[in-house]
């Protein structure tokens, strides 16, 4: 047997039954009467479930995607509970109930639980859905005034969203770790000609082993113009890269890339390989820029990490790092959302080049791919770096929104607390903890503060 995705209506019934049991245990009439953190965890799940129902009814989301989203939300709450419980505490009634609904409790056989790919889909669907809490689905514009999770205090909402980002990162990395390099298909730069009748008779080509023409690549998701506009034309960016490589060769007094150190040579060969591959596609110039620029961001981060472990040197000593700063913009000059978009563009292109579609329910790395001949290049390491950077970008963007909300959304009455209470409030914001006796009061103030935002 395999894991069977439940319908949203089934998930709703089982969730409501679980809530009823929890309310009866605590002798409460409704979710709002519960104490935190159970209250806001259930508010989070209830609000998401209600909106998903509306969107399925309006046909703005497919029923399967809605179900995947709610699975992701339930697992996020389970992790939130895990994060907050003491070492000797049990998982608790809510966590156990959610595990039963999802189908991951200890009584379920491993083969009947969600696999790596299904689990990753849960979090991908949830994180896409959570964009709705931002104006125009863009975190740069701040929280919507009446977003669906407004009943949850912002610091708690921040924790839940951070958790869903982290779970997505871990799930993606688990998939990368599971990849085996036994894929038999190859990506070619020249469009294959169909075999003749005689050739088919002599050597029939199976569907799985047909070469894949690079011109067939189509970006599933494209980077916005805000991310690519700074690079000018494709010719501008490729010339800038060529000049940067020449600067590095001149600085190291060598005639070709292979004579550089192993890591630097691998990085430059990687950029040249991406450039050549992108050039051979039929995608728009803007998306070509995104793929190459995203690859440059990856290399710059590799250099950052190299120098972070060096005590007596800094990235100022790296010709490539300084040149990439000039091309890409220094840290803080570019929105995290745009960097995330560029890296995603690179990631999906690299997957097309190097990862074979699922066979026997598992993806695999092609035995031969564009990067396999680059000495010192580790494909899995690069994929994991992509995942880490996307996760970091999401957190940076989220923290900025929360910080701006806290700056703009605090109502004047809250400043009238005593000096000690105010100090404790500031301390609790830094530590992520609240004085339990004042939590309900703070929650109420924070809910009101959403009305003071100008959108």
pLDDT, residue 412, reads 35
Ordered by start, the domain boundaries in the chain are 8-178, 187-397, 409-455
pLDDT, residue 197, reads 65
pLDDT, residue 380, reads 98
pLDDT, residue 424, reads 38
- Would you give per-residue pLDDT tens digits along the chain (455 residues)? 589 999 999 999 999 999 999 999 999 999 999 998 899 999 999 999 999 999 999 999 999 999 999 999 999 999 999 998 865 566 799 999 999 999 999 999 999 999 999 999 999 999 999 999 999 999 989 999 899 999 999 999 999 999 999 999 999 999 999 999 999 999 999 988 776 666 666 665 555 578 999 999 999 999 999 999 999 999 999 999 999 999 999 999 999 999 999 999 999 999 999 999 999 999 999 999 999 999 999 999 999 999 887 775 778 889 999 999 999 999 889 999 999 999 999 999 999 999 998 776 789 999 999 999 999 999 999 999 999 999 999 999 999 999 988 887 654 333 333 333 444 343 343 334 444 443 443 343 333 333 333 33
pLDDT, residue 124, reads 97
pLDDT, residue 2, reads 85
pLDDT, residue 358, reads 78
pLDDT, residue 205, reads 52
| Sign for the pseudo-dihedral over CA of 337, 381, 365, 269 | positive
Q: How many CB atoms lie under 10 A from the CB of residue 441? A: 12
pLDDT, residue 103, reads 96
| Polymer length in residues for the chain | 455
pLDDT, residue 54, reads 97
pLDDT, residue 292, reads 99
pLDDT, residue 277, reads 98
d(CA 321, CA 318) in angstroms, rounded, equals 5
pLDDT, residue 425, reads 40
């Amino acid at each position: 047997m395999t894991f069977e995705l439940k319908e949203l209506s089934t998930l709703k019934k089982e969730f409501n039954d679980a809530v009823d049991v929890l309310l009866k245990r605590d002798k409460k009439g409704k979710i709002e009467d519960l104490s935190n953190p159970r209250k806001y965890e259930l508010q989070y799940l209830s609000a998401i479930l209600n909106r998903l129902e509306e969107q399925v009814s309006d046909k703005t989301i497919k029923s399967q995607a809605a179900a995947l989203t709610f699975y992701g939300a339930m697992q996020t709450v389970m992790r939130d509970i895990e994060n907050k419980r003491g070492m000797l505490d049990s998982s608790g009634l809510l966590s156990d109930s959610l595990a039963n609904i999802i189908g991951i409790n200890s009584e379920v056989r491993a083969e009947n639980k969600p696999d790596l790919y299904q689990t990753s889909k849960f979090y991908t669907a949830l994180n896409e859905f959570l964009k709705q809490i931002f104006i125009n689905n863009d975190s740069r514009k701040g929280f919507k005034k009446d977003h669906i999770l407004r009943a949850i205090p912002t610091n708690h909402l921040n924790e839940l969203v951070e958790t869903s980002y982290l779970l997505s990162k871990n799930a993606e990395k688990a998939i990368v770790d599971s990849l085996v390099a036994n894929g038999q298909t190859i990506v070619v730069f020249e469009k294959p000609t169909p075999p003749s009748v005689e050739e088919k008779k002599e050597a029939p080509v199976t569907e799985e082993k047909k070469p894949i023409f690079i011109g067939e690549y189509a970006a599933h998701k494209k980077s916005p113009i805000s991310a690519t506009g700074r690079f000018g034309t494709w010719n501008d960016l490729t010339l800038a890269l060529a000049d940067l490589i020449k600067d590095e060769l001149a600085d190291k007094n060598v005639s070709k890339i292979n004579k550089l150190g192993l890591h630097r040579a691998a990085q430059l060969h990687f950029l040249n390989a991406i450039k050549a591959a992108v050039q051979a596609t039929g995608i728009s110039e803007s998306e070509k820029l995104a793929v190459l620029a995203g690859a440059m961001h990856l290399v710059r981060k590799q250099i950052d990490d190299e120098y972070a472990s060096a005590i007596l040197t800094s990235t100022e000593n790296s010709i490539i790092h300084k040149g990439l700063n000039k091309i890409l913009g220094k840290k803080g000059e570019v929105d995290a959302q745009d960097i995330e978009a560029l890296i995603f563009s690179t990631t999906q292109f690299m997957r097309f080049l190097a990862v074979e579609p699922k066979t026997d329910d598992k993806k695999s790395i092609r035995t031969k791919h564009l990067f396999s001949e680059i000495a010192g290049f580790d494909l899995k390491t690069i994929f994991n770096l992509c995942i880490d950077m996307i996760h970091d970008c999401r957190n940076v963007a989220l923290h900025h929104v929360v910080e701006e909300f806290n700056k703009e959304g605090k109502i004047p009455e809250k400043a009238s607390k005593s000096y000690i209470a105010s100090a404790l409030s500031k301390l609790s914001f830094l530590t992520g903890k609240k004085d339990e006796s004042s939590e309900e009061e703070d929650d109420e103030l924070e809910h009101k503060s959403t009305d003071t935002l100008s959108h």
